[in-house]
């Protein structure tokens, strides 16, 4: 008989284990029979240039959710201009569901402004308490960090320059950058398209060293680039961009030196 009881208790324990292992992942609502809401995590981060943004999940601890639950929340930081709240302060957990997402979209700027911490905090919606078990303490707040992807402007003294025109690559060269006194982020560049470009373009080596396209390059606040004030008026126009973290210029040059109209693309990487 004792073996029968022993087997009975073994079966009972196994059944309890199986039942407990099949529970869903929603919060344990039995701590608060009226239900409660909480955040799924207490921290997270997202790159400033993320196109998907950051998703914070709100969980509902309740036996049922027959009509849906709307939850209020706040987002606070030292600079709210660096992100967009896609939910604008409210999130709804649909009927029959037990979670919903709050999406925060970082705004990719060109400023070296460091990482930004955002505090997401759930609010009492006058129906359900917040935090694990409705305690109002744990998992009612989440710290989300936007990771800055920008670097300060730090222009090198010299750049390895690749030149492209007429569907082909012209001779590469090294160009020197000299700050222009009394200006901010404006540099006199020794040669933009290279000392041998005109000789290469015309097929006449006697032009090597002539019309080297010496001009000023200005990095604008939005990291666009302007070419102007060339020593030869026929070689003094261009636009492009500057990548701070790569220390790289990508510029398209215009010219009136040649009778034909064409542009020259250059890529300049700091040495």
Measured between alpha carbons, how far is 259 from 215 in angstroms, rounded to an integer?
20
Residue 179 above 50 pLDDT?
A: yes
Measured between alpha carbons, how far is 255 from 197 in angstroms, rounded to an integer?
13
pLDDT digits (tens, 9 = 90+) for 115-163: 999 999 998 655 678 887 666 678 999 999 999 999 999 999 999 999 9
Residue 6: pLDDT band (50, 70, 90) is: very low
**pLDDT value of position 18:** 43
Q: Write the DSSP symbol of residue 180.
A: P
More confident residue, 243 or 138: 243
Measured between alpha carbons, how far is 227 from 250 in angstroms, rounded to an integer?
12
Per-residue DSSP letters for 185-245?
Answer: SEEEES-SS-TTHHHHHHT-GGGTTS----EEEEE-TTSEEEEE--SSTTS-EEEEEEETT
Residue 63: pLDDT band (50, 70, 90) is: confident
């Amino acid at each position: 008989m004792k073996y029968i009881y022993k087997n009975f208790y073994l079966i009972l324990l196994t059944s309890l284990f199986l039942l407990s292992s099949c529970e869903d992942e929603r919060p344990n609502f039995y701590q608060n029979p009226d239900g409660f809401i909480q955040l799924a995590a207490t921290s997270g981060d997202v790159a400033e240039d993320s196109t998907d943004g950051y998703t914070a999940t709100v969980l509902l601890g309740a036996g049922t959710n027959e009509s849906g639950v709307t939850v209020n929340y706040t987002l606070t930081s030292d600079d709210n201009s660096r992100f967009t709240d896609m939910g604008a302060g409210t999130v709804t957990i649909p009927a029959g569901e037990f979670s919903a997402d709050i999406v925060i979209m970082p705004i990719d700027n060109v400023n070296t402004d460091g990482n930004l911490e955002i505090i997401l905090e759930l609010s009492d919606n006058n129906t359900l308490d917040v935090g694990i078990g409705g305690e109002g303490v744990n998992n009612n707040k989440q710290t989300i960090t936007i990771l800055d992807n920008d670097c300060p402007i730090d222009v090198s003294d010299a750049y390895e320059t690749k030149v492209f025109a007429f569907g082909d690559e012209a001779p590469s060269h090294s160009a020197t950058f000299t700050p222009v006194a009394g200006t901010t982020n404006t540099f006199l560049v020794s040669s933009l398209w290279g000392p041998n470009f005109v000789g290469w373009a015309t097929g006449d080596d006697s032009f090597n060293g002539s019309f080297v396209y010496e001009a000023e390059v200005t990095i604008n606040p939005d990291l666009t680039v302007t070419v102007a004030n060339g020593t030869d008026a026929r070689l003094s126009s261009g636009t492009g961009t500057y990548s701070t973290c790569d220390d790289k210029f990508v510029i398209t040059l215009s010219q009136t030196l040649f009778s034909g109209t064409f542009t020259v693309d250059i890529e300049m990487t700091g040495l």
